């Protein structure tokens, strides 16, 4: 197994552990700032993982733009409350984010705490390098 595959397996294991440990957490993904999937929890298809990563990136980008425009400062976490779920997105290392989709009954404070704990424990490991122009299709 090469280093990249081994790192992805380790990251997926950490995300599986987060979802299994934290009550009402459904799925977790780590994504690059531009929305590319880096790692995912078990039980989430590749297509759904890619979709969740893109959506989480968009919400994080909107929050950052709002913070810049209105002087709110750095975005710590983005939380979207839906009728039947919550979406949490938090920075996870340089150029990466951690997103968790949780049940509507989730303890918002507990989910946020557990996400931040994971990021602090493995934040350097979650760093994503920016893509080059060639990788972006330019």
Average pLDDT over residues 30-45: 95
Categorize the per-residue pLDDT at 129 as very low, low, confident or very high, splitting at 50, 70 and 90.
low
Average pLDDT over residues 103-120: 96
CATH number at residue 93: 3.30.450.30
For 85-108, b/e burial (b = at least 16 CB within 10 A) is bbbbbbbbbebbbbbbbbeeebee
136 in any annotated domain: no
How many Cβ atoms from other residues are within 10 Å of residue 19's Cβ?
21
**Structural domain harbouring 26:** 3-126
pLDDT of the residue at 135: 53
Sorted by sequence, the CB contacts under 8 Å of residue 34 that are 6+ apart come out as 57, 131, 136
138 in any annotated domain: no
Please give the Cα distance from 138 to 129 (Å, whole number): 17
Quote the pTM value.
0.86
pLDDT for residue 34 is more than 90:
yes
Domain count, the chain: 1
133 in any annotated domain: no
pLDDT of the residue at 78: 96
Average pLDDT over residues 115-123: 88
pLDDT of the residue at 130: 58
Backbone angles phi, psi at 31, to 5 degrees: -135, 155
Average pLDDT over residues 122-128: 67
Please give the Cα distance from 22 to 128 (Å, whole number): 25
Summarize pLDDT for 54-103 with one digit per residue, the tens.
999 999 999 999 999 999 999 999 999 999 999 999 999 888 999 999 99
């Amino acid at each position: 197994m090469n280093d990249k595959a081994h790192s992805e397996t380790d990251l997926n294991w950490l995300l599986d552990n987060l979802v299994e440990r934290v009550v009402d957490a459904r799925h977790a993904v780590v994504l690059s700032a531009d929305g590319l999937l880096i790692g995912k929890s078990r039980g989430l298809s590749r297509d759904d993982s890619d979709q969740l990563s893109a959506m989480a990136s968009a919400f994080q980008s909107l929050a950052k733009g709002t913070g810049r425009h209105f002087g709110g400062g750095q975005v710590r976490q983005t939380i979207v409350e839906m009728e039947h779920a919550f979406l949490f997105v938090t920075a996870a290392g340089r150029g990466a984010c951690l997103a968790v989709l949780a049940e509507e009954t989730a303890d918002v404070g507990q989910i946020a705490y557990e996400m931040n704990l994971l990021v602090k424990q493995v934040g350097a490991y979650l760093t994503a390098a920016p893509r080059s122009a060639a990788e972006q299709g330019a």
